[in-house]
Chains A and B, each alone.
Chain A
Amino acid sequence: MIEGILIGLTTALTFQNILMVMVGCFFGTIIGMLPGLGPMTAIALMIPITYGFDPATGLILMAGVYYGAVFGGSTSSILLNAPGVPGTVATSFDGYPMAQQGKAGKALAIAAWSSFAGGTLSAIYLLFMAPSLSKVSLSFRSPDYFALMILGLTAIAAFSSKGQFLKAMMMVVLGLMLASVGQDSLSDITRFTFNNMNLTDGISFVLVVMATFAMSEALTIILKRNDPTSAAKQVSLTELGSIKINKEERTKMYKTIPRSSVIGFLIGVLPGAGATIASFLAYGMERNVVNDEEKEKFGKGSVNGLSAPETANNAACSGSFVPMLTLGIPGSGTTAVMLGALLGFGVQPGPRLYMTNPEIFWSIIMSMYIGMVILLILNLPLIPYIARILAVPKNYLIPLILFFSITGIYVMSFNNFDIYLMIGIAVVATFMRLYDFPMPPLILAFVLGGLMEENLRRSLLLSNGSWEFLWDRTLTLCILLTTILIVVWHFYKTIIKK
């Protein structure tokens, strides 16, 4: 392994490769900040460029773009409540309220440091555990995935505010219902399209997330006569962009980062799970482990609530490289695009990759460390300037949020119907938000809907229609029992204690 690390370092530390990481991080950050253009699009845009390089350099460039785009996505989540990718939805829960309180610079700095720590720690885990983790990830079967998704959805509902469990579960079901629109993945039978061709491919994630977060947030601000820039107006531009994190906040982060990086990395390793589940689970777990006083701050600008998903989503990014490099199974949509590029280079990923192409395997891992450092160096000085977006007056900020949301959809589909659908969903979401129906469970359910159906299908077909698969395997049973424990604990705390 030492030899491999040295090979990786030699390859990653060449001038060309360091330059590639820098270019990748920079462009990734910019592209990630644009709504509708997440890491997947950013990497896809880079593929034609990478074919001019050798495989290691090409993949290093793509890894840099990946990290940059994830960080860029967090920036739009924190400043505009407009998460462009599912992995940064949980970041907006506490990042946006913190920015609203005039602490935009601090929120971005916490996100940057947490991303850095999460990514670096998970790169260390990756270094030592990649080969053995690939075996663990293979032991996960469809029933386990199905149970894991039930756990994720129940956890986010249970961890929602007091007395919100049923509302959150209704939103979970609504999210799954929206995800079921379009062609069935196996039989190609269309469902809930009402003979409308525009719905055949289903409803896009960006559409739902832009409608329920960015657009409905903009409409709510107008409807409630709120001024999102009022806090920013009360503080100076220097204070708004201040990236100083005090001792108390640092102490909180020291506790949150290690546990969130572990959960993020482990979830990232599971093929198909990825940064979204990791960030939601880390957020939920963090809310459960902090004291009651801190718990009350969740959703209102908690440092732990911001740090946990940011750490986890970056850790999951590194984790998702494990199944891709060691098994040839992409852990997320983004790594699927990278896998395609890898195959394009004529490199066959699999258990023998680190023997046949050690320079590729180890240089990617080494470039992760370098990428994290470069991302921090590039982004921290820019934060005071980026944070000033919040000093833009409300009369300009709201139309600009609407413009970014609509443009995000328009460049994806060039379709009027999608814009109408987005406006319709945004109006319904605005009305529901007035009555405290939480949107995060809807988004998580929407993202997981397809995967959940797929795993339930496999499980039921394998068990010939019997639901025994839920307790046949110890792992499935353990996950299911954890779900039940979470629900029971929630009811114990809200009903019996009262």
Chain B
Amino acid sequence: MNINTTKVISLLFFIFSAFYLYTAYQIQVFAFDENAPFNARTFPIYLGYAGLFFSGLKLILPDPNTIKVNHKTLEYKKTLILIIIAIIYGTTILKVGYFLTTSLFLFSSYYFLGERRWVLMFLLSFPFVAAFMYLLHGVLDIYLRDPFLQSIGVMG
């Protein structure tokens, strides 16, 4: 059976809207606000119904412009690796520090995307991040937490 993915996304959006609407009704408002013409839950409730309406219409009405994606041609492996590297980067950036994690993130991303020019990879990671960090931290005075550089005495 050929499933129309746009309809599946619409169905997921319909379920999401229903959940959003249910959560909107659960928003706690002050007792004196309960019967006010507008309170913290009014707008979300309208949004929930709007979501149900539009996704419902998309589900019911015929889809003349069906989008067909050939999944066999998609590069899932590299995309997934890149996402995982980004998550690891996000996890370590606060604990290890901006300089080391960002440089390693860039270096490993270049590597997994197929780059093998080691000198260029190095130049566009460690020295590049150092220069960028100097611009943010040194010139624009934007604080960048970096326990690693602090531990080796480079950053005060």
Contact = CB atoms under 8 A, between A and B. Distances in A.
B75 A222 contact: yes
Contact of B38 (A167, A406, A465): A465
Contacts of B105: 399, 402-403, 406
A219 B110 contact: no
A225 B69 CA distance: 13
Contacts of B50: 173, 176
Interface string A172-200: 01101100100010110101100000000
A67 to B, nearest CB: 19
A170 B10 contact: yes
A414 B42 CA distance: 33
A395 B112 CA distance: 9
B131 interface: no
Contact of B82 (A222, A435, A464): A222
A400 interface: yes
A455 B23 CA distance: 23
Interface in A89-128: none
B106 A176 contact: no
Interface string B19-60: 010011001111001001111111110010011001101100
Contacts of A7: none
Contact of A400 (B90, B106, B136): B106
Interface of A: 31, 37, 45, 162-164, 166-167, 169-170, 173-174, 176-177, 180, 184, 186-187, 189, 191-192, 218-219, 222-225, 393-396, 398-400, 402-403, 406-407, 410-411, 414, 416, 419-420, 423, 427, 430, 432, 434-437, 452-453, 456-457, 460-461, 463-465
Given A399-B109, A416-B91, 4 more contacts: A163-B65, A166-B57, A170-B51, A399-B105
24 contacts: A45-B141, A163-B65, A170-B55, A184-B40, A191-B24, A191-B40, A222-B82, A223-B75, A223-B76, A224-B75, A395-B110, A399-B106, A399-B109, A400-B124, A402-B86, A402-B105, A403-B106, A410-B93, A410-B98, A419-B86, A436-B6, A456-B38, A456-B43, A465-B37
